[in-house]
């Protein structure tokens, strides 16, 4: 009896919290397949005489179709994919190489660079909004993808994380052995060093990909042409225009959110390992 | 110096520079330079990105006398307090529950709790703009059905701060829980057993075994929440509009920065606000180190 009660005491709050956490996402999905006429008849799916008391035949894909035909949402999806891929690959490459050099070479200016990296680590991103905007204006990069990608391509915390990963996971002897075998430095990095920190590479790619996908303020400031906008900006504009078209708003949000959640479902181990790596060490 | 080591030096001599060069180039242009420039901008007044004039410390003096700035600072501080005193205890509670040895399906629960933090804040804002709606919104509908709560409860008009704190709670409670779960792995099982043998109660064990073990990570999570809270933007921007709703009830520091810098066009004033945020967070970081170290003594 007390074991049952103890189990109840643990699982009841856990299941209750899970339900509350999933509720808004379920709500979003349900809202995106209801007609606007039936939107308010029930909080989730419309009632009817079908299986489970739900009017299945009343459900509609009209919001999704309108999204792609009337609003060219496909374009925004491609923009988001491109921006997130370009930024995450570039950022991972630059910071992995930088972290490798800081971890495994001694060179002039190394401690200066390390100091700079650690110094900017504590500065909040929003501090750079105004000066970066002015800089992009002078470089002629406003309303260009370069202006969105480059400022996010050299994150200091990435160099810091990769430096830690190389120090912990790449034995010096391995590099020495490679050099004695006559392996070139670039090949040594790509085929010996990088595979040793593969979990970090995966985690960092994922985190920067999702971070860029979800970034709103930066593309909102830099880009001006509607055709260039990623999903985050497009959805905010969609809400400004169609704020009473609930079904379409939720369909747009579902399309924007689904790829990231699927990615997480497939690769959750990498995600969580990457996120906690930084915290537990520092 | 013999020929062999000379050759070895030459072989690796250039390579560290080749490895750091791409990062350093982008970092210097797009991080280091704007950081310095933000200091220069904070003593200027600008009209868009081109025209500017030197105003000395006037921006900071202006901020001190700017009621909207104080409003934004107060709102941001209230939100941060909500994150730390409501959200983090919930996260720790969930982590303690999930950490119990007899729990099954831990991976499933962790997956569910963590997933909202991957939804971008702008998308969360769109979803919650419907949930917080009067009468028709999910929250009021459910509260009305369950507890007879007022279905006209005006979340986005008069209860802006609770609404923002609730939305952020949904988004980040599982994110922080994952950190707490990682921290709980530092709790030594031997110490727990020993205290159990000594007859220590649950609360006593929590206070004297668990808390000291998770203290370093715990203070780091507090700092992380502060950093995130002080950069709150998308949620109130979309839910309440650019001014932060009626009477600027939900105006945050970053919203005010955005408004002055990119609506009004004064990048100087915006930079001054940026530096105030940076200095507040810097002070918090220094305090975090002191508190975390205090635990080690």
pLDDT digits (tens, 9 = 90+) for B234-261: 999 999 988 888 889 999 999 999 999 9
What are the pLDDT digits (tens) for A49-78? Answer: 666 767 777 788 888 999 998 888 999 999
The pLDDT, as a whole number, for residue B283 is 94
Is B113 within 8 Å of chain A by CB? yes
* SS3 of B161-211: HHHHHHHHHHHHHHHHHHHHHHHHCCCCHHHHHHHHHCCCCHHHHHHHHHH
Roughly what angle, to the nearest 10 degrees, separates helices B160-184 and B67-82? 40
The pLDDT, as a whole number, for residue B24 is 96
How many Cα atoms are found within 13 Å in the side-chain-facing hemisphere of B191?
Answer: 15
What are the pLDDT digits (tens) for B18-40? Answer: 999 999 999 999 999 999 999 99
**Residue numbers of B between 169 and 228 with CB closer than 8 Å to A:** 170, 173-174, 178-179, 182-183, 217, 220-221, 224, 227
Stated pTM of the model: 0.91
Distance of CA B25 to the CA centre of its chain: 29
On the question of pLDDT at B10 being above 90, the answer is no
Is B38 within 8 Å of chain A by CB? yes
Q: How confident is the model at residue A280 (pLDDT cuts 50, 70, 90)?
A: very low
Q: Pick from B11, B13, B19 the residue to mutate for testing the A interface (most A CBs within 10 Å).
A: B19
On the question of pLDDT at A220 being above 80, the answer is yes
The pLDDT, as a whole number, for residue A282 is 41
What are the pLDDT digits (tens) for A77-135? Answer: 999 999 999 999 999 999 999 999 999 999 989 999 999 999 888 889 999 999 999 99
| DSSP element (H, E) containing A82 | helix A73-104
Which of the 8 DSSP states describes residue B152?
T
b/e code B74-91 from CB counts within 10 Å (16+ = b)? ebbbbbbebbeebbbebb
* Complex confidence, ipTM: 0.91
**Average model confidence (pLDDT) across chain A:** 89
Q: Average pLDDT of B255-281?
A: 95
- Pairwise CB contact (< 8 Å): B274 & A279: no
Residues of B in contact with A120 (CB under 8 A): 31-32, 35
Residues of B in contact with A239 (CB under 8 A): 126, 129, 238
Q: Chain A residue closest to B28 (CA)?
A: A154
Nearest to A33 by CA among A63, A65, A69, A72: A63
On the question of pLDDT at B81 being above 60, the answer is yes
CATH numbers and ranges of domains, chain B: 15-57 (no CATH), 60-296 (1.10.3720.10)
Dist. CA B122–CA A213, nearest whole Å? 11
The partner residue sitting opposite A239, judged by closest CB among B173, B224, B238, is B238
On the question of pLDDT at A193 being above 90, the answer is yes
Q: Are B253 and B230 in contact (CB under 8 A)?
A: yes
Q: Which residues contact B59 (CB under 8 A, 6 or more apart)?
A: B42, B43, B44, B45, B268, B269, B271, B272
Residue with token string 């650690």 = A118
**Average model confidence (pLDDT) across chain B:** 89
Q: Are B253 and B72 in contact (CB under 8 A)?
A: yes
Q: Are B277 and B254 in contact (CB under 8 A)?
A: yes
Roughly what angle, to the nearest 10 degrees, separates helices A62-69 and A246-266? 90
Q: Tell me how long chain A is.
A: 282
The pLDDT, as a whole number, for residue B222 is 93
The DSSP result for B197-265, as a single string, is HTT--HHHHIIIIIHHHHHHHHHHHHHHHHHHHTT--HHHHHHHTTTTSGGGTT--HHHHHHIIIIII-
The partner residue sitting opposite A130, judged by closest CB among B170, B231, B270, is B270
The pLDDT, as a whole number, for residue B284 is 93
Residues of B in contact with A257 (CB under 8 A): 119-120, 123
What would the two tokens of residue A240 be? 């400004």
Percent of chain A with pLDDT over 70: 94
CA distance A169 to chain B (A): 18
Q: Average pLDDT of A168-197?
A: 91
Dist. CA B268–CA A189, nearest whole Å? 43
On the question of pLDDT at B162 being above 90, the answer is yes
Question: A70-281: what fold?
Answer: MetI-like fold (1.10.3720)
CA distance A50 to chain B (A): 23
Residue B198 phi, psi dihedral angles, 5° rounding? -70, -5
The pLDDT, as a whole number, for residue A58 is 73
Dist. CA A264–CA B289, nearest whole Å? 32
Count of H-run helices and E-run strands, chain A: 15, 0
The pLDDT, as a whole number, for residue B12 is 60
**Residue numbers of B between 44 and 83 with CB closer than 8 Å to A:** 46, 49-50
CA distance A276 to chain B (A): 6
Q: Average pLDDT of A171-198?
A: 91
Q: Are B180 and B92 in contact (CB under 8 A)?
A: yes
Dist. CA B155–CA B161, nearest whole Å? 9
Residues of A in contact with B174 (CB under 8 A): 21
Q: Where do the CATH 1.10.3720.10 domains begin and end in chain A?
A: 70-281
CA distance B198 to chain A (A): 23
Q: Which residues contact A46 (CB under 8 A, 6 or more apart)?
A: A34, A38, A54, A55, A58, A59
Q: Which SS3 state, helix, strand or coil, does residue A272 take?
A: helix
On the question of pLDDT at A190 being above 80, the answer is yes
Q: Chain B residue closest to A208 (CA)?
A: B118
Nearest to B151 by CA among B162, B141, B166: B141
Dist. CA B43–CA B56, nearest whole Å? 5
The pLDDT, as a whole number, for residue A159 is 95
Is B281 within 8 Å of chain A by CB? yes
Q: Cβ atoms within 10 A of the Cβ of A269, count?
A: 12
- Cα→Cα distances A98→A155, B19, B26, B38, Å: 11, 6, 11, 25
The pLDDT, as a whole number, for residue B73 is 97
Residue with token string 């100091």 = A115
Q: Average pLDDT of B139-154?
A: 88
Q: Average pLDDT of B61-71?
A: 96
- Pairwise CB contact (< 8 Å): B41 & A130: yes
Q: Average pLDDT of B102-117?
A: 90
- Pairwise CB contact (< 8 Å): B23 & A154: yes
Q: Pick from A3, A130, A261 the residue to mutate for testing the B interface (most B CBs within 10 Å).
A: A130
The pLDDT, as a whole number, for residue B3 is 39
CA distance B159 to chain A (A): 20
On the question of pLDDT at A200 being above 50, the answer is yes
| DSSP element (H, E) containing B44 | strand B44-47
Q: Average pLDDT of B108-122?
A: 93
Q: Average pLDDT of A198-202?
A: 89
Query: Which of the two residues, A32 and A3, has the higher pLDDT score?
Result: A32
Strand-pairing partners, residue B230, are none
CA distance B118 to chain A (A): 7
Q: How confident is the model at residue A276 (pLDDT cuts 50, 70, 90)?
A: low
């Amino acid at each position: 009896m007390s074991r049952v009660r103890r189990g109840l005491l643990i699982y009841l709050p856990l299941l209750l919290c899970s339900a509350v956490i999933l509720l808004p996402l379920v709500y979003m999905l349900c809202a995106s397949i209801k007609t606007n006429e039936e939107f308010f008849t029930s909080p989730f799916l419309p009632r009817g005489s079908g299986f489970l008391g739900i009017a299945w035949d009343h459900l509609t894909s009209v919001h999704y179709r309108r999204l792609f035909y009337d609003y060219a949402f496909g374009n925004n999806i491609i923009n988001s994919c491109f921006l997130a891929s370009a930024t995450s690959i570039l950022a991972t490459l630059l910071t992995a190489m930088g972290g490798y050099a800081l971890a495994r070479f001694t060179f002039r200016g190394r401690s200066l660079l390390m100091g700079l990296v650690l110094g900017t680590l504590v500065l909040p991103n929003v501090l750079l909004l105004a000066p970066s905007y002015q800089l992009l204006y002078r470089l002629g990069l406003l309303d260009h993808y370069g202006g969105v990608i480059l400022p996010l391509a050299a994150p200091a915390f990435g160099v810091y994380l990769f430096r830690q990963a190389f120090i912990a996971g790449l034995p010096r002897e391995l590099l020495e052995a490679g050099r004695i075998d006559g392996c070139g430095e670039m090949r040594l990095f790509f085929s010996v060093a990088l595979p040793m920190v593969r979990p970090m590479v995966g985690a960092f790619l994922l985190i920067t990909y999702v971070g860029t996908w979800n970034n709103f303020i930066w593309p909102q400031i830099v880009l001006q042409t509607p055709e260039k906008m990623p999903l985050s900006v497009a959805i905010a504009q969609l809400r400004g225009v169609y704020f009473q078209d609930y079904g379409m708003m939720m369909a747009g949000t579902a399309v924007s959110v689904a790829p990231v959640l699927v990615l997480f479902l497939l690769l959750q181990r990498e995600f969580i390992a990457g996120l906690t790596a930084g915290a537990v060490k520092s | 110096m013999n020929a062999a080591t000379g050759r070895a030096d030459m072989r690796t001599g250039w390579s560290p520079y080749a490895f750091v060069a791409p990062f350093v180039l982008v970092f210097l242009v797009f991080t280091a330079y704007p950081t310095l420039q933000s200091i220069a901008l904070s003593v200027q007044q600008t009209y868009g990105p081109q025209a500017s004039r030197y105003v000395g410390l006037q921006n900071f003096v202006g901020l001190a006398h700017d009621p909207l700035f104080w409003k934004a600072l107060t709102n941001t501080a209230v939100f941060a307090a909500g994150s730390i005193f409501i959200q983090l205890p919930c996260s720790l509670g969930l982590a303690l529950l999930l950490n119990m040895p007899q729990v099954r399906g831990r991976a499933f629960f962790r997956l569910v709790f963590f997933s909202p933090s991957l939804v971008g804040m702008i998308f969360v804002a769109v979803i919650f703009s419907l949930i917080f709606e009067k009468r028709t919104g999910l929250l009021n509908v459910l509260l009305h059905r369950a507890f007879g709560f007022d279905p006209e409860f005006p979340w986005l008009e008069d209860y802006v701060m609770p609404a923002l704190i609730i939305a952020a709670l949904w988004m980040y409670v599982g994110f922080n829980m994952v950190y707490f779960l990682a921290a709980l792995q530092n709790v030594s099982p031997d110490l727990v057993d020993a205290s159990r043998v000594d007859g220590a109660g649950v609360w006593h064990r929590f206070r004297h075994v668990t808390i000291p073990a998770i203290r370093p990570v715990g203070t780091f999570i507090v700092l992380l929440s502060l950093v995130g809270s002080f950069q709150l933007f998308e949620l109130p921007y979309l839910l309440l509009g650019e001014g932060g709703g009626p009477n600027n009830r939900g105006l945050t520091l970053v919203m005010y920065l955005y408004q002055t810098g990119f609506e009004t066009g004064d990048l100087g004033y915006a930079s001054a606000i940026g530096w105030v945020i940076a200095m507040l967070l810097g002070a918090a970081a220094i305090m975090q180190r002191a508190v975390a170290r205090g635990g080690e003594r």
